[in-house]
Amino acid sequence: MAQRTDNDRMLVDGIHHVAILTADTDRLVEFYTDVFDAVEAGSSVDGGVRLTFLTVGHHTELNIFEIEGNREAQHQKPMFGRGRIDHLGLRAASFEAFTEIRRRLVDHGATDGFVTDFGPVLSLFFTDPDGLEAEVCVPNPDAVPGVRNPPGTPSSRFSAN
């Protein structure tokens, strides 16, 4: 298989939405609104199912389902034991936005603030109020072309923080 280049046309422009289950829609909406400046774009209730659309980026939303009697939102397993979709990754709009999101997540107690330097991107993992592990990524301003680092490599920009 031939390697794609940055100049190749992609047919997909990112993730449209991720559907998640919760036992407390209001708490989850408040968290993503406080940390990510998310905007609730609509909500409906039909037959014991509450569906809320939460815009978290220009082209990305969370579809939050609260289903009466459903206990799946309470099931959390260790990484790579969570089923076919393990976690979601959000892309910060800028390095400055990433820094602000990191501060807010630390303030909420959702992360210890450790930033991984993967080479091309910086990554920060957090846990939302339902226990869903997620990640915020941003292009690394210090990236060296062709250099990729393994998980756990600390970012020099955040190692003292």
Instruction: Give yes or no for residue 2 having a pLDDT over 60.
Output: no
Domains observed in the chain: 14-71 (3.10.180.10), 86-161 (3.10.180.10)
- The alpha-carbon radius of gyration of the chain (Å, integer) is 17
Write out pLDDT tens, residues 37-54: 999 999 999 899 999 999
Q: Do 126 and 135 form a contact (C-beta atoms < 8 A)?
A: yes
**Which H helix or E strand runs over 36?**
helix 25-36
* pLDDT higher than threshold 90 for residue 158: yes
56 contacts 33 by C-beta, under 8 angstroms: no
pLDDT tens-digit readout, 87-145: 889 999 999 999 999 999 999 999 999 999 999 999 999 999 988 889 999 999 999 99
At residue 143's C-alpha, the angle toward residues 142 and 149, to 5°, is: 120
pTM of the predicted model as reported, rounded to 2 decimal places: 0.80
Phi, psi at residue 38, to the nearest 5°? -65, 160
Bigger pLDDT: 15 or 54?
54
What mean pLDDT, rounded, does the chain reach?
88
